[in-house]
Amino acid sequence: MIRQFIRISLPATLVVTLAACQPTGEDAVENAMKEVNVIDESNLNDVMLTIADPNEAVTYFERSVRSDPSRIDLLRGLGKSLIRAARASEALPIWKAVVEHPEATLEDKISYADALIRNNEWDMAEEVLNTIPPTHETYDRYRLEAMVADSNEDWKRADSFYEIAAGLTTKPAGIYNNWGFSKLTRGDFTGAEKKFWEALRHDPNLFTAKNNLVLARGAQRNYELPVIRMSQVERAQLLYTLALAAVKQGDVTMAKTLLREAIDTHPQHFEAAVRSLQALEENVTN
């Protein structure tokens, strides 16, 4: 009887064990839903970082971080969203928390240095960049290195870093524009003009490069608009920029001519140009 009991009870035990390992219908659904939720959350995070209104993204990630403050991906999302929303001072402690996280990467340090620069903490940004090994060569790293070198007026290093950064991206228009502005602040107007032309070669629609190009030409008393792609509104704005450059050079008559042309060119009422022209004419009258 004992042997018979064992023979019967063993299969029963095996069945119970197998049943315990086999997920129920509810467990299977729950596990599948967890996987779907992870995918959905990841997609939503990406949407919030790229498409969503920056302040809405901040609210989303703030709520997510409160729910799970240990997740570095949520902290990164909050830091990036605050930067997008032009709330750099609020982003700074978030990026500090990110770089102190055990899962932090070298890219996190670069983002922290970027936040420091946006908050005008140049010395600290330089310290953070100095902790990144030279073998970590990325566009953002050298873009920030160039900016720090500029702040130190170390033009040789700045030029070197700008050149490296330009070679590390397929869209170098922005870095050429920054490089040109660096040369503009140094008083190297010819060099600046070349960099702005290079920026526009890579992105003919980059208005900041168009405006900076006009500034560089105006600083050389060249008041002719460059032959570049521009809308009617852009043409009026560039004429206005040239007029301001002419005022700075003391060429008041030329400035008034350019302002009148800007006013006539603009498809709407160009209030800033009108005010500037009135101010110049009143000064001449007085």
Per-residue pLDDT of the chain (286 residues; tens, 9 = 90+): 433 433 334 344 433 333 444 445 555 444 444 444 444 566 778 788 877 788 999 999 999 999 999 999 999 999 999 999 999 999 999 999 999 999 999 999 999 999 999 999 999 999 999 999 999 999 999 999 999 999 999 999 999 999 999 999 999 999 999 999 999 999 999 999 999 999 999 999 999 999 999 999 999 999 999 999 999 999 999 999 999 999 999 999 999 999 999 999 999 999 999 999 999 988 765 5
On whether both 141 and 216 belong to a single domain, the answer is yes
Token readout for 140 is 């953002």
In a domain, 96, yes or no: yes
- Give the pLDDT confidence score for residue 26 in this predicted structure: 52
* Chain centroid to CA 235: 27
Q: Are residues 150 and 202 in the same domain?
A: yes
Do 192 and 145 lie in one domain? The reply is: yes
Q: Are 95 and 79 in contact (CB under 8 A)?
A: yes
At residue 267, what are phi and psi to the nearest 5 degrees?
Answer: -70, -20
Range of 261's domain?
230-286
The answer as to whether 184 is a domain residue is: yes
Report d(CA 132, CA 129) in Å as an integer: 5
Instruction: Tell me what pLDDT residue 87 has.
Output: 96
Q: Is residue 21 part of a domain?
A: no
Choose among 254, 240, 164: nearest CA to 207: 240
CATH code assigned at 95:
1.25.40.10
The answer to whether position 165 is within a domain reads yes
Which pLDDT belongs to residue 273? 94
Do 172 and 97 share a structural domain? Answer: no
Which amino acid is present at 202?
Answer: H
Residue 252 lies in a domain: yes
* Cα(268)–Cα(231) distance, integer angstroms: 13
Same domain, 115 and 150: no
The reported pLDDT for the residue numbered 49 is 80
pLDDT at 214: 97
3-state secondary structure string across 238-254: HHHHHHHHHHHHCCHHH
Residues 94 and 110 in one domain: yes
Structural domain contains residue 203? yes
Does residue 17 sit within a domain?
Answer: no
Regarding whether 90 and 67 lie in a shared domain, the answer is yes
Q: Which of 86, 117, 112 is nearest to 100 (CA)?
A: 112
State which of 195, 220, 245 marks the end of a domain. Answer: 220
- Same domain for 260 and 204? no
Contacts of 120 (CB under 8 A, 6+ apart): none
pLDDT at 42: 63
Whether residues 286 and 256 fall in one domain: yes
User: Domain end: 99, 132, 165, which one?
Assistant: 132
Number of domains in the chain: 3
Long-range contacts of 127-134 (CB under 8 A, 24+ apart): 128/99, 132/106, 133/106
- Quick one: pLDDT at residue 284? 61
- Considering the domain architecture, whether residues 266 and 209 belong to the same structural domain is answered as no
CA dihedral 173, 193, 259, 208 (to 10 degrees): 20
Structure tokens that stand for 30 in this block:
């729950």
Residue 37 placed within a domain: no
pLDDT of amino acid 181: 96
In this structure, the answer to whether residues 166 and 195 fall within a common structural domain is yes
49: which 2 tokens? 């970082």
Collapsed DSSP state (helix, strand, coil) of residue 162: helix
Q: Identify the domain boundary among 93, 114, 132.
A: 132
Residues 123 and 150 in one domain: no
What does the pLDDT read at residue 107?
97
How far lies 34's CA from each of 21, 29, 67, 95, in Å?
19, 9, 17, 29
